Chains A and B, each alone.
Chain A
Amino acid sequence: MTEVTLSNIVKFYGKHQALHGINLDISDGEFVVLVGPSGCGKSTTLRMIAGLEDISGGEIAIGGRVVNDLPPRDRNISMVFQNYALYPHMTVRENLGFSLKIAKMDAAEIAKAADEAAGILGLEELMDRKPAELSGGQRQRVAMGRAIVRHPDVFLFDEPLSNLDAKLRTQMRVEIKKLHQKVGNTIIYVTHDQIEAMTLADRIVLMKDGHIVQVGTPLELFNTPVNTFVATFIGSPPMNLIDGVVSGSSTIQLADGLSVPVPASAQGQVHNGQRVKFGFRADNLMPYGHAVEEEGERADLELTVTLTEPLGTETVLFTDLAGTEVQGKMLNPRPVRPGEVLKFRLMLDKCHVFDAATSDAIRG
């Protein structure tokens, strides 16, 4: 049983407060991703769990045992670093076996464990090479191998893929997920990349400025963001947000005389004259003939395309709606020239409303 519990974790660097009371329960075998923009405190949180940073306040427990003052070696964790941190003077085999050597296990056992880890990650051919002779992806795998050799309670990953090129990153992402399925340990993973967070996580912890903004499954964060920060951080392209004012109880007046009904989820939660942001994802603004066939309340809009981003299976269309640049999507794309006017349909029941003053979602 290796759940990880953070209670009211605080971190100060001198006078600067980096973390403001982080509370988080991670259950056994869960894959949790800490994500957020740089400087949000996600790496600090991870390093505190690892024991590489002092804890200014609060309590961290691993497997029910408070570890606040334990050195890293007594926490039974392993960590994969952004720059891999392989020992350059050792071969891959020695790198893999290092932790066991330090634990004074006998040579035969070390060799067996190293071979086993190499087998899981496909490193058999590379065992006698030094890190300098490996490619980025291979180094990454060795770093992971070094982590699994010890059979730790918890794996910590600190932006492990950010030094890889895009193709390799996708590939390693899959390998990490497979590794998790194979070994089943608790994993805490830090990244600034929302796609990594979405694809890997059982649960995402979205952080900003030393606070947790929202915790939930990838789909929860995608479908019910608690505020505009989550809405624009998760999902690509980010959610479109348009300023508006509630008029009456069921209409939102946008600029340019355009008005939309208050989405069902927010009905009864808004009041006349309230300044709001009206949000919808690119997937819900699609031109007719190139859209998903689905039921639901919709609004028809004639919009001029200003820019296109063809991605193959879909094309992202940039257009202006009520004075704001918004992005829509075109499925089964055909070539579109900038300046072309298309008839779009906006799926109204998939839209979100946020309070303009607090940025919080308005939802029933």
Chain B
Amino acid sequence: MDRNQSYRNHKRLMKALHFSGLFIVMSIICIPGLWIVLNSFRPTVEIMAKPPVWIPTFTLDHYRAMFGGAGEGGVPVFSYFRNSMIVSVVSTAIAILIGMSGGYAFARYRFKGKNGYFVGLMLFRAVPGVALSLPLFIVFARVGIIDTHIGLILAYVAMNVPFTVWLTDGFFRQIPKELHEAAEIDGCTRWQAFWQVEFPVAKSGVASAAIFAFLTSWNEFALASQLTRSVGSKTMPVGLLDFTAEFTINWGGMCALAVLMIVPALILTFLVQKHLIAGLTFGGVKG
């Protein structure tokens, strides 16, 4: 067989292996999500069936029950959703404002102890959130902000700021300082130069930081389960616990609520995915 043929076969084989590998990895990532969506539409008997039922039956029972009264296995979905929204949106907005200012400062200004601060911020990220839950619980209880939106928002802002700083710092660093200098020469104040030129250029970076911060707050469970108590402040991940009783777990109901959690996150991600693909147009400057 000539060499061309053998190389061609080798290339085909590699391609096949490549795709199989990708398929396996993607399966591992996607199957749990798929499982949740599918099971939210299946009767409980089917979910628990052994051997498994391969052809699913479609039912909206879990959703009906979830939105139903307290006696029929209902949970206060709307309250949880509202709490999650308020906490996630507000904490993301604050984290972005603080994080963006911080990131800009780290990217643009020289000041004493800059590297120290930066490493400090990153180290703060290394502390597992759960480890903070007890001290936070005690402090919040003393201050009286346990079981409130404010408490959770504070905790999430603190959690998200270091990451936001790190991410936006990277984006602002990519923008040459000549851009704001040119804007200042063109008549802008420092503040105008930022909003008119640097912010629009770094918009994609800020958007990705915002998405990350939002999803972190939206999905967070460990801290929220400690810091919230009542329907007035429980977020959706904590709400999932409502489906566990002493001896049973209502998998179908849990899956239904989980789907309601996933949908807004998915929509949001789709809306901003254009920005997530970073590296907008840095063409104004020769790279």
Binding site for B on A (CB under 8 A): 50-52, 71-73, 77-79, 81-89, 98-99, 102-103, 130-134, 136, 139, 146, 150, 163
Contact = CB atoms under 8 A, between A and B. Distances in A.
A85 B283 contact: no
Nearest to B186: A99
Given A50-B185, A102-B186, A102-B196, A89 B283 contact: no
| 3 A-B pairs with least C-beta separation | A132-B283, A88-B284, A86-B284
Contact of B285 (A84, A89, A130, A133): A84
Contact of A83 (B192, B280, B286): B286
Range class of the B interface residue count:
20 to 34
B181 A72 contact: yes
Contacts of A86: 182, 284-285
A9 to B, nearest CB: 19
A161 B280 CA distance: 26
Contact of B187 (A52, A82, A85, A99): A99
A131 B201 CA distance: 13
Interface string B173-213: 00010110111111111001000110011010000000000
A39 to B, nearest CB: 19
B78 interface: no
B188 A102 contact: yes
A84 B186 contact: no
Interface string B261-287: 000000000000000000011111110
Nearest to B175: A88
A85 B285 contact: yes
Most chain B CB inside 10 Å of its own CB: which residue of A51, A72, A139: A72
A226 B178 CA distance: 36
A73 B180 CA distance: 12
A263 B246 CA distance: 109
Given A87-B179, A136-B286, 11 more contacts: A51-B185, A52-B185, A73-B188, A79-B181, A85-B179, A88-B283, A88-B284, A89-B203, A130-B281, A131-B284, A146-B182
Given A73-B187, A88-B285, A89-B200, A102 B192 contact: yes
16 contacts: A72-B181, A73-B186, A73-B187, A79-B181, A83-B176, A87-B179, A87-B182, A88-B201, A88-B283, A89-B197, A89-B284, A102-B188, A136-B286, A139-B286, A150-B187, A163-B286
B56 to A, nearest CB: 48
B108 to A, nearest CB: 13
